[in-house]
Amino acid sequence: MFIDLYVDDLVFMGNDVELTKKFKRTMEKEFEMTDLGHMRYFLGLKVKQLETGIFVSQERYAEDILSKFKMARCCPVSTPMEPDTKLSKFDGGDHVDANKYRSLVGSLRYLKSTRPDLLLSVGIVSRYMEESTYTHWRALKRILRYVRGTTSLRLYYTRSDDYRLVGYSDSDWCGDVDYRKSTSGYVFFMSNTAFTWLSKKQPIVTLSTCEAEYVAASLSVCHAIWLRNLLSKLEMKQKGGTVIRVDNKSAIELAKNPVNHGRSKHIDVKFHFIREQVKEGNVEMVHVGSRDQIADLFTKPLPTVLFNNYKNLIGMKDGRSI
């Protein structure tokens, strides 16, 4: 039985029906608690439990954001950010109301809890919270227009017997025009739906795509280790190494062969943490074609077709089509 506690809200589940009932009774006796039955709303997430699987969405929250920012009737678009958008700190235009900008970014950041498709674009606009100009505000508005068209999009967790953790790691190169830093992204799957993801500007400037991918991979390896620990505590210990799919062959080689190469000798020691983990068999780096690299979604703005494809792969379904 698993119990998840958030201050005074708690959710629990278990394979033993008797045990859960007993737990409920004990809790009610010990503290004055209300039994809310099946989990429906938790921390703003709407959870819908069906025979076939579980939906998690923030539809209401998304609509609230739209109406709060008076975008409830805007024209929807198919992607949150135009491909090849390059925002810069020094983008011209008037300064916009910082409070409004930050409030909107903050609202969208919480929306990311069930909307990995927004991860990258919200991440990018939140880099310009300090001195936001009209250009950034327009990018932000576009995200809202995208949200408007996709409020019913939700995560769909289905039944399966496959407890294997699989990760995808990817990076763009020099996506940030101001500092020439790259953006790394990863996503982890159990069965068919992603449950943890990240899109982050790398802390260092890298000299090659290989290095950027390597830095991204090391981030995802760290996360994989944490997840493996968490899962083993939940008595779902992963057998064998966790597969991390990378679309850069040289990065994989770099992780496998502990030799210093002319072009990789400058790479910081901490990123070589990955080598040790590969050697110990905790993680396994596997090559994947660029077309199937789902983590691409978290590193650069994509055109509609690719974007929708990855959205499907990540396990997002439109609530209206079900």
Partner 1 sequence: MASSEASSAHDMKNLVREETDEDEMLLTRSSDIELGPNSSRNTEFGLRVQNNSIWYLDTGASNHMCGDENMFDELSKIEARHVSFGDASKVMVKGRGTICFSQKNGRIGTIRDVYYVPDLKTNILSMGQLMEKGYSVIMKDRVLELKHKLGHLIARVEMKQNRMYKLELRCLKLNVEDEAMKWHFRFGHLHFGGLTELVQKEMVRGLPNIEFKKNFCEDCVLGKHQRASLPKTTEYQVKEQLGLVHTDVCGLITPVSFSGKRYFLTFIDDFSQKTWVYCLKEKFEVFGVFKKFKVMIENETCTKIKAVRSDRGGEYTSAEFMRYCEELGIRRFLIASYSPQQNGVAERKNQTILNMVRAMLKGKNMSKEFWAEAVQCAVYVQNRCPHAKLNGQIPHEAWSGKKPCVSHLNVFNNVAYAHVPAQQRTKLEDRSKKLVFIGYDEKTKGYKLFNPVTNKVLVSRDVVIDEENEWNNSAVIVKSIATTSGSSKTTFGSPTSERINLDNVPARQQEVFDEEEEPLQTRTRSLQDIYNTTNEVHMCLLAESEDVRFEEAVVDEKWKKAMDEEIAAIERNNTWELSDLPQGARPIGVKWVFKKKMNAQGEIERYKAQLVVKGYRQREGVDYAEVFAPVTRMETVRLLISIAAQNKWPIFQMDVKSAFLNGVLKEEVYIEQPLGYMRRGEEKKVLWLKKALYGLKQAPRA
> Taking the complex as a whole, how short is the minimal distance between the CB of residue 29 and partner 1, in angstroms?
12
Q: Write the DSSP string, 229-274.
A: HHHHHTT-PPPSPEEEEES-HHHHHHHH-----TTTTTS-GGGGHH
Supply the Cα-derived Rg of the chain in whole angstroms.
Answer: 21
Query: Site residues for partner 1, window 155-214 (CB under 8 A)?
Result: 155, 157-163, 190-191, 193, 195-196
Measured at the CA of 115, the angle between CA 82 and CA 246, to 5 degrees, comes to 75
Adjacent-strand bridge partners of 45: 42
Q: In angstroms, rounded to a whole number, what is the distance separating the alpha carbons of residues 253 and 286? A: 10
Of residues 109 and 141, the one with the C-beta less far from partner 1? 109
Of residues 159 and 249, the one with the C-beta less far from partner 1? 159
> Taking the complex as a whole, how short is the minimal distance between the CB of residue 24 and partner 1, in angstroms?
7
Among 85, 88, 103, 113, binds partner 1 (CB under 8 A): 113
Of residues 47 and 251, the one with the C-beta less far from partner 1? 47
Q: In angstroms, rounded to a whole number, what is the distance separating the alpha carbons of residues 207 and 215? A: 11
Retrieve residue 131's tokens.
Answer: 């001195």
Retrieve residue 199's tokens.
Answer: 């899109």
> Taking the complex as a whole, how short is the minimal distance between the CB of residue 74 and partner 1, in angstroms?
13
Among 46, 47, 151, 242, binds partner 1 (CB under 8 A): 47
Using the rule CB under 8 A, is 53 a contact of partner 1?
A: yes
> Taking the complex as a whole, how short is the minimal distance between the CB of residue 109 and partner 1, in angstroms?
11
Q: In angstroms, rounded to a whole number, what is the distance separating the alpha carbons of residues 256 and 245? A: 14
x/- track of binding to partner 1 for residues 231-270 (CB under 8 A): ---x-x----------------------------------
Piece in contact with partner 1 (CB under 8 A), picked from 60-68, 89-97, 240-248, 270-278: 60-68
Handedness of CA 288, 289, 294, 300 (dihedral sign): positive
Retrieve residue 292's tokens.
Answer: 């199937």
Using the rule CB under 8 A, is 229 a contact of partner 1?
A: no
Of residues 105 and 210, the one with the C-beta less far from partner 1? 105
Using the rule CB under 8 A, is 69 a contact of partner 1?
A: no
Q: In angstroms, rounded to a whole number, what is the distance separating the alpha carbons of residues 29 and 17? A: 19
Piece in contact with partner 1 (CB under 8 A), picked from 7-15, 117-125, 139-147, 176-184: 7-15
Among 67, 78, 304, 312, binds partner 1 (CB under 8 A): 67
Q: In angstroms, rounded to a whole number, what is the distance separating the alpha carbons of residues 183 and 73? A: 33
> Taking the complex as a whole, how short is the minimal distance between the CB of residue 90 and partner 1, in angstroms?
31
Place of tokens 């990065």: 251
Tell me how many residues contact partner 1 (CB under 8 A): 56
Q: Looking at residue 221, what DSSP letter applies?
A: H
Q: Write the DSSP string, 148-206.
A: HHTTTEEEEEE--S---EEEEEEE-SS--TTT---EEEEEEEETTEEEEEEEEE-SS--
Using the rule CB under 8 A, is 27 a contact of partner 1?
A: yes
Among 19, 26, 36, 260, binds partner 1 (CB under 8 A): 36
* Spatial contact of 139 and 118, defined as CB atoms under 8 Å apart: no
> Taking the complex as a whole, how short is the minimal distance between the CB of residue 180 and partner 1, in angstroms?
30
Piece in contact with partner 1 (CB under 8 A), picked from 89-97, 136-144, 154-162, 244-252: 154-162
Q: What residues line the site for partner 1 (CB under 8 A)?
A: 2, 4-15, 20, 24, 27, 30-40, 42-43, 45, 47, 49, 53-54, 56, 60, 64, 67, 113, 155, 157-163, 190-191, 193, 195-196, 227, 230, 234, 236
